[in-house]
């Protein structure tokens, strides 16, 4: 009667599995407050396995293709040695593309975990509530209307994403933005922006329309080192901020009132997480286009694998990296020699996953 | 939506907000007069729409060109070959989308139901892109069947997904199911149009939804589909009224809920599929207009359906005219205008407490 039928685990269960590692050196101001890290063996193992899988995808990506490069040569190139042929193919073509995929995927996974936690709903991810469409609109305006170069595309994307997220958040706000209202408002705003995007594409010249459409689908074709460095800088700034937010976000999952009673500055944590998530979404969209569903799926799959509560920020990041790099190599090889943009694959697979999640949830009578 | 109808009656000059429990003869007469006024509005908008454009034509000359035959006059040529088909398209497509939206909201008892949000447009779009890319079809009569099939499959998928489980389809569920199914179909469309540049070039103009550049012959081929859909809708008004009382009550009144639901789906598919195949996806008309019509008529489908059709025709004509005058040297397509008008309404509906809490 107790364990098999009730989905909710006994409250003591997960807490008992976590070891607390007090870090004495990091004593925070105030009596008896130490910074401790929750350590969940299962989550750690899942994270390590995901990282291994991503490494395997990396090896596969770097060695295979039209031109086979043995692992030893890849290692030499990585170490900076000169290998004729492999230098260019690995160092200039495959490696930057792989790194871009890993870093964009990581940013998307992390932003998905942040958004889903503050929306307290698995569907509150940036691609469902219109933030990616908004940054795409910003980028399309810079490309097609202002005719600006690659650097300003990022600026347009960030502005578009920030404006959209502010609009969605304000429109959904009625003494709190949580729940389905946020998602429905996001769906409304994104259908408005989709119309605007279609309009921009129809107005453009054919060549511009074609490249904009490829970009709008989400693609990693021809990504080079400049994209890698953009993403490295993004994650170097926003990653630590997300880590700092992880602990108060976990407490927010108990509800805003409880968290506030436990001393969490709810407003500040929510708006901080929103800002970090917007930055991650906007810059990864600027680099790879609005790649659909990675931000939605990564935290969801991680939650099923780790069975841990909380935002699972680190594992979601690794999962995002794995998902996008795997999708990209699959999209390149599936219809070879024709190369599909990666967004087609993540869109179809991620959309089917969403259908499955909804069907499962509703059959069991939730939502 | 709700079956409880408070008898809020204003002064004789202002119509009642919703239907009194028992509609008398005077009430029906007022509804009929209102409907006639709306038809008059559509005619005025049609004449205005024919007159406004790169070559402005005064309303009097428009009426003259419509009533006479003078192939040597520039006005006559412009009116008969380009402006008149365009206005007729606006009327026919608008009425179809309004009817489809009203049927959809009645069927799902969902105030957020709209062919665009529930994936019907995406289904038709995917089928059109598929048939142009894979089969190289380029004529309306070829891909209208594909669009109908795509619309039917997507509508069925969204409806089945949204009604899964024991509880009925809530607005949130159907909107999410529509989003999920549309997302998959959009990704498929993206893949198809990127593999074939020619398809992209055809598709990007179709995708925004426009009344411009339509020929009268397409309209003629469109009419059987839309006519069948509209006829079906007319036959469904009474059964849908019965179903609104609850399925058990409806059964005891002699209605067949299952049969009615199937016929409603068929009507929606015919109306939306054919309309979308002809002019591209036009969002939010089917969402907005039934809400507007319900303010005038109350929940009675026998009045709601005709009002929705006429008001939607007026809205689409107005959107087309607005799109022609709002920018200096360019045109804003009707589909873009309706999206910009409709999305705020959708958000206002979502913000209303009753829906947000579902």
pLDDT in tens, B244-301: 887 788 888 888 878 888 898 889 989 988 898 888 888 888 888 998 888 888 888 9
Q: Lowest mean pLDDT: which of A276-285, B77-86, B167-176, B316-325?
A: B167-176
Q: Which has more pLDDT, A293 or A84?
A: A293
Give A4's pLDDT tier (boundaries 50, 70, 90): very low
Residue A11 lies in a domain: no
Within-domain flag for A12: no
Q: Is B13 a member of any domain? A: no
| CB B38 within 8 Å of CB B314 | yes
Q: Max CA-CA distance within chain B? A: 67
Q: For residues A153-178, give the mean pLDDT.
A: 83
Nearest to B107 by CA among B221, B250, B4: B250
How much is the average pLDDT of A257-281?
A: 87
Residue of B111, B194, B286, B354 best to disrupt the A interface, most CBs of A under 10 A: B194
Window 78-137 of B, Cβ < 8 Å to A: 112, 116-117
Both tokens of B316, joined, read 């689409």
CB-side neighbour CA atoms (13 Å) of B330: 9
Q: Decide: residue A332, CB within 10 A, 0-12 exposed, 13-18 middle, 19+ buried.
A: buried
Q: Which residues of A touch B180 (CB under 8 A)?
A: 351, 354-355, 358
Chain B residues within an 8 Å CB radius of A128: 179
Exposure of A231 in the CB half-sphere (CA atoms within 13 A): 26
Residue A39, beta-bridge partner list: A19
Task: Give pLDDT, residue A228.
Answer: 94
How many domains does the structure of chain A reveal? 1
User: Residues A93-107: what's their mean pLDDT?
Assistant: 94
Q: What is the pLDDT of residue B138?
A: 66
Q: What is the pTM of this model?
A: 0.81
**CATH at A48:** 1.10.3470.10
Residue B92 has what pLDDT?
A: 95
Domain that holds residue A150: 40-346
**Where do we find the tokens 């081929």?**
B221
* C-alpha distances out from residue B238 to B255, B256, B286, Å: 9, 11, 20
Question: What's the gap between Cα B127 and its chain centre?
Answer: 19
The structure tokens listed for A204 are 């453009």
The answer to whether the beta carbons of residues B272 and B121 sit under 8 Å apart is yes
B194/A214 CB distance under 8 A? yes
Closest of B32, B35, B1 to residue B18, by C-alpha = B1
Query: Using the beta-carbon criterion (under 8 Å), do A355 and B180 form an inter-chain contact?
Result: yes
- 8 Å CB contact of A347 and B187: yes
pLDDT value at residue B169: 60
Question: Smallest CA–CA separation between A165 and chain B, in Å?
Answer: 15
* Per-residue pLDDT at B12 exceeds 60: no
How many Å lie between the alpha carbon of A181 and the closest alpha carbon of chain B?
5
In this structure, is residue A2 part of a structural domain? no
Give pLDDT, residue A12.
Answer: 41
Dihedral, CA of residue A181, residue A184, residue A187 and residue A190, to nearest 10: -40
State the pLDDT at residue B228: 95
Is residue B190 within 8 A of residue A346, CB to CB? The reply is: no
Do B177 and A203 make contact, defined as CB atoms within 8 angstroms? no
d(CA A58, CA A95): 9
Closest residue of chain A to B159, computed from CA coordinates: A359
In a domain, A210, yes or no: yes
In a domain, A15, yes or no: no
Candidate from A228-232, A265-269, A319-323 with smallest mean pLDDT: A265-269
Q: Does A352 contact B184 at a Cβ distance shorter than 8 Å?
A: yes
Across the interface, of A192, A199, A358, the residue whose CB is closest to B343 is A192
Q: What is the rounded average pLDDT for all residues in chain A?
A: 82
User: In this structure, is residue A19 part of a structural domain?
Assistant: no
Q: What is the pLDDT of residue A366?
A: 59
Interface check B347 vs A, CB under 8 A:
yes
In the predicted model, is pLDDT for residue B19 greater than 50? Answer: no
How many domains are contained in chain B?
A: 1
Q: Is A354 part of a structural domain of the chain?
A: no
Q: How far apart are CA B267 and CA B106, in angstroms?
A: 12
Residue A319: predicted pLDDT: 95
* Interface with chain A: mutation pick from B180, B203, B207, B348, highest number of A CBs within 10 Å: B180
What mean pLDDT comes out for the span B19-39?
Answer: 79
Q: Decide: A141 and A155 in contact? Cβ < 8 Å.
A: no
In a domain, B200, yes or no: yes
Q: What is the CATH number of the domain that holds B193?
A: 1.10.3470.10
Q: What percentage of chain B has pLDDT greater than the value 70?
A: 88
Say yes or no to pLDDT of B338 above 70: yes
Phi and psi angles of residue A95, each rounded to the nearest 5 degrees, phi first:
-65, -50
Q: Is residue B33 part of a domain?
A: no
Interface check for B73 against chain A (CB to CB < 8 A): the answer is no
**Do B333 and A202 count as a contact with CB atoms less than 8 A apart?**
yes
Higher pLDDT, A210 or B139: A210
CB-nearest to A351 from B180, B284, B336 is B180
Residue A14 in domain: no
**3 state SS for chain B:** CCCCCCCCCCCCCCCCCCCCCCCCHHHHHHHHHHHHHHHHHHHHHHHHHHHCCCCCCCHHHHHHHHHCCCCCCHHHHHHHHHHHHHHHHHHHHHHHHHHHHHHHHHHHCCCCCCCCCCCHHHHHHHHHHHHHHHCCCCCHHHHHHHHHHHHHHHHHHHHHHHCCCCCCCCHHHHHHHHHHHHHHHHHHHHHHHHHCHHHHHHHHHHHCCCCCCCCHHHHHHHHHHHHHHHHHHHHHHHHHHHHHCCHHHHHHCCCCHHHHHHHHHHHHHHHHHHHHHHHCCCCCHHHHHHHHHHHHHCCCHHHHHHHHHHHHHHHHHHHHHHHHHCCCCCCCCHHHHHHHHHHHHHHHHHHCHHHHCC
Asked whether residue B154 is assigned to any structural domain, the reply reads yes
Interface contact flag, A354 B197, Cβ < 8 Å: no
Containing domain of residue B279, as a range?
71-350
| Size of the A and B interface in Cβ pairs below 8 Å | 156
């Amino acid at each position: 009667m107790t364990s098999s039928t009730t989905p909710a685990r006994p409250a003591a269960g997960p807490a008992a599995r976590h070891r607390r590692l007090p870090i004495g050196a990091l004593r925070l101001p105030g009596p008896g407050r130490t910074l401790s890290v929750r350590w969940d063996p299962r989550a750690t193992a899942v994270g390590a396995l995901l990282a291994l899988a991503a490494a395997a995808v990396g090896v596969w990506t770097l060695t295979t293709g039209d031109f086979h490069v043995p692992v030893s040569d890849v290692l030499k190139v990585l170490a900076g040695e000169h290998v004729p042929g492999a230098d260019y193919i690995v160092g200039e073509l495959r490696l930057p593309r792989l790194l871009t995929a890993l870093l964009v995927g990581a940013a998307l996974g992390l932003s998905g975990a942040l958004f889903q936690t503050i929306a307290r709903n698995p569907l509150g991810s940036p691609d469902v509530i219109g933030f990616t469409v908004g940054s795409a609109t910003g980028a399309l305006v810079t490309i097609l209307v202002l005719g600006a170069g690659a650097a300003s595309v990022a600026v347009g994307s960030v502005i578009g994403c920030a404006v959209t997220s502010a609009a969605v958040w304000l429109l959904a706000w009625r003494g709190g933005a949580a729940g389905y209202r946020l998602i429905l408002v996001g769906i409304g705003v994104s259908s408005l922006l989709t119309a605007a995007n279609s309009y921009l594409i129809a107005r453009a010249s054919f060549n511009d329309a074609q490249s904009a459409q490829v970009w709008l689908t989400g693609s990693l074709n021809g990504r080079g080192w400049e994209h890698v460095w953009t993403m490295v800088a993004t994650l170097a700034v926003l990653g630590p901020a997300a880590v700092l937010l992880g602990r108060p976000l976990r407490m927010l999952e108990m509800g805003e009132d409880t968290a506030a009673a436990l001393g969490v500055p709810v407003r500040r944590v929510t708006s901080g997480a929103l800002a970090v998530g917007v930055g991650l979404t906007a810059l990864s969209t600027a680099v790879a286009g609005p790649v659909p569903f990675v931000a939605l799926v990564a935290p969801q799959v991680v939650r099923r694998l780790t069975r841990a509560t909380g935002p699972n920020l680190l594992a979601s990041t690794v999962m995002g990296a794995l998902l996008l790099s795997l999708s990209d190599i699959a999209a390149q090889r599936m219809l070879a020699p024709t190369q599909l943009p990666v967004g087609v694959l993540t869109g179809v697979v991620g959309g089917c996953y969403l259908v499955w999640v909804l069907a499962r949830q509703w059959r069991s009578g939730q939502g | 939506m709700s079956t409880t109808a408070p008898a809020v009656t204003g002064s004789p000059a202002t119509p009642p907000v919703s239907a009194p429990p028992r509609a008398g003869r005077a009430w029906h007469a007022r509804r009929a007069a209102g409907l006639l006024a709306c038809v008059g509005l559509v005619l005025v908008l049609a004449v205005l729409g024919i007159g406004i454009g790169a070559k402005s034509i005064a309303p009097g000359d428009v009426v003259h060109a419509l009533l006479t035959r003078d192939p040597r006059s520039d006005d006559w040529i412009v009116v008969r070959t380009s402006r008149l088909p365009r206005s007729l398209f606006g009327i026919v497509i608008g009425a179809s989308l309004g009817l489809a939206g009203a049927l959809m909201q009645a069927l799902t008892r969902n105030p957020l139901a709209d062919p665009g949000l529930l994936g019907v447009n995406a289904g038709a779009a995917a089928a059109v892109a598929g048939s142009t890319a894979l089969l190289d079809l380029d004529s309306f009569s070829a891909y209208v069947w594909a669009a109908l099939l795509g619309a039917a499959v997507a509508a069925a998928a969204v409806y089945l997904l949204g009604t899964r489980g024991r509880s009925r389809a809530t607005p949130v569920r159907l909107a999410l199911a529509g989003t999920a199914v549309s997302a998959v179909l959009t990704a498929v469309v993206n893949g198809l149009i990127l593999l074939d540049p020619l398809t992209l070039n055809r598709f990007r103009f179709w995708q925004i939804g426009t009344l411009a550049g339509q020929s009268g012959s397409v309209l003629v081929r469109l009419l059987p589909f839309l006519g069948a859909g509209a006829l079906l809708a007319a036959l469904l008004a009474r059964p849908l009224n019965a179903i609104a009382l609850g399925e058990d009550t409806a059964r005891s009144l002699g209605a067949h809920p299952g049969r009615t639901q199937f016929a409603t789906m068929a009507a929606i598919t015919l109306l939306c599929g054919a309309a979308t195949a002809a002019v591209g996806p036009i969002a939010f008309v089917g969402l907005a207009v039934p809400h507007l019509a319900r303010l005038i008529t109350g929940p009675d489908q026998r009045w709601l359906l005709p009002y929705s059709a006429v008001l939607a025709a007026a809205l689409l004509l107005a959107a087309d005219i607005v799109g022609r005058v709002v920018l200096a040297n360019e045109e804003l397509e009707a589909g873009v205008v309706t999206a910009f008008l409709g999305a705020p309404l959708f958000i206002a509906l979502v913000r209303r407490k009753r829906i947000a809490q579902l």
